[in-house]
């Protein structure tokens, strides 16, 4: 006679694995936002309240875990930028997108590290490329409506934003007022006057 408890045991293990995976993913997002790429698997395991082996069953390497979190962040950011393309005021849409970006970078160290880092893998690079295209499209619409200087493209903006945000983060400046002021200064440098 077959043991009918086996399917129930497998389902229980699967649901436990799914719960652990959700805890790992949530902990990874939190820890990576706080510590950036310097976070360790041990940091994430401690926050998720699981053992290292539990993490390694889902993510054999730190790069795999980092890539999953990075891709989700990049996709969310690309969606946000794409959503600004239909705005009735393209100049204001770009300004708001810039303020949103600075706020996101203020709250998420991984975002800064991710945008400044060498490629992790092809899928992350594709997601990063999508962000670049989305933001560049918002910039182009703003420029067409007189909002941006003609000689400023995505690359120039990236240098200004990442340089400024990286410096603020590296020196531990975290207050929102300072970050917003820096966003305003970046905008002043690239907007058409």
SS3 of residue 153 by DSSP: coil
Q: Are residues 151 and 182 in the same domain?
A: yes
Q: Which residues pair with 191 in a beta bridge?
A: 148
What is the number of domains present in the chain? Answer: 2
Q: In whole angstroms, what separates CA 142 from the centre of its chain?
A: 23
Q: Are residues 5 and 99 in the same domain?
A: no
Q: Are residues 53 and 101 in the same domain?
A: no
Phi, psi of 114 (to 5 degrees): -60, -45
Range with the poorest average pLDDT among 6-10, 46-50, 114-118, 159-163: 6-10
Segment 92-104 shows an average pLDDT of 96
Q: Are residues 119 and 28 in the same domain?
A: no
Band of residue 157 on the pLDDT scale cut at 50, 70, 90: very high
In CATH, what number is assigned to the domain containing residue 122? 1.10.357.10
Q: Are residues 28 and 112 in the same domain?
A: no
The conformation of residue 85, written as its DSSP 8-state character, comes to G
Output the pLDDT for position 114: 79
The residue out of 60, 78, 110 marking a domain boundary is 60
Band of residue 88 on the pLDDT scale cut at 50, 70, 90: very high
Q: Are residues 146 and 187 in the same domain?
A: yes
Output the pLDDT for position 2: 55
CB atoms within 10 A of CB 170: 10
The residue out of 60, 87, 103 marking a domain boundary is 60
Q: Are 148 and 190 in contact (CB under 8 A)?
A: yes
Domain that holds residue 2: 1-60
Band of residue 178 on the pLDDT scale cut at 50, 70, 90: very high
Q: Are residues 153 and 184 in the same domain?
A: yes
Q: Are residues 38 and 69 in the same domain?
A: no
Band of residue 5 on the pLDDT scale cut at 50, 70, 90: low
- Average pLDDT of the chain to the nearest whole number: 90
Segment 54-80 shows an average pLDDT of 90
Q: Are residues 98 and 110 in the same domain?
A: yes
Band of residue 16 on the pLDDT scale cut at 50, 70, 90: confident
Q: Are residues 70 and 55 in the same domain?
A: no
The residue out of 31, 60, 89 marking a domain boundary is 60
Segment 62-75 shows an average pLDDT of 89
Q: What angle do CA 40, 44, 48 make, to 5 degrees?
A: 165
Q: Are residues 94 and 183 in the same domain?
A: yes
> Above 70 in pLDDT, residue 151?
yes
Q: Are residues 192 and 150 in the same domain?
A: yes
């Amino acid at each position: 006679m077959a043991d009918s408890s086996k399917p129930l045991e497998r389902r229980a293990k699967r649901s436990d694995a799914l719960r652990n995976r959700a805890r790992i993913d949530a902990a990874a997002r939190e820890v990576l936002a706080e510590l950036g790429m310097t976070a360790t698997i041990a940091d994430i395991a401690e926050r998720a309240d699981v053992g290292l082996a539990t993490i390694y069953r889902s993510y054999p390497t730190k790069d795999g875990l980092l890539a999953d979190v990075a891709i989700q962040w990049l996709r969310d950011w690309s969606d946000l930028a794409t959503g600004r393309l239909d705005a009735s005021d393209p100049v204001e849409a770009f300004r708001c997108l810039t303020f949103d970006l600075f706020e996101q970078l203020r709250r998420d160290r991984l975002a800064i590290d991710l945008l400044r880092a060498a490629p992790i893998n092809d899928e992350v690079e594709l997601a990063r490329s999508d962000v670049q295209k989305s933001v560049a499209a918002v910039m182009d619409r703003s420029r067409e409506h007189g909002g941006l200087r003609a000689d400023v493209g995505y690359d120039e903006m990236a240098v200004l934003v990442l340089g400024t945000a990286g410096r603020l983060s590296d020196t531990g400046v975290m207050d929102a007022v300072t970050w917003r002021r820096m966003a305003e200064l970046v905008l002043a440098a690239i907007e058409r006057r």
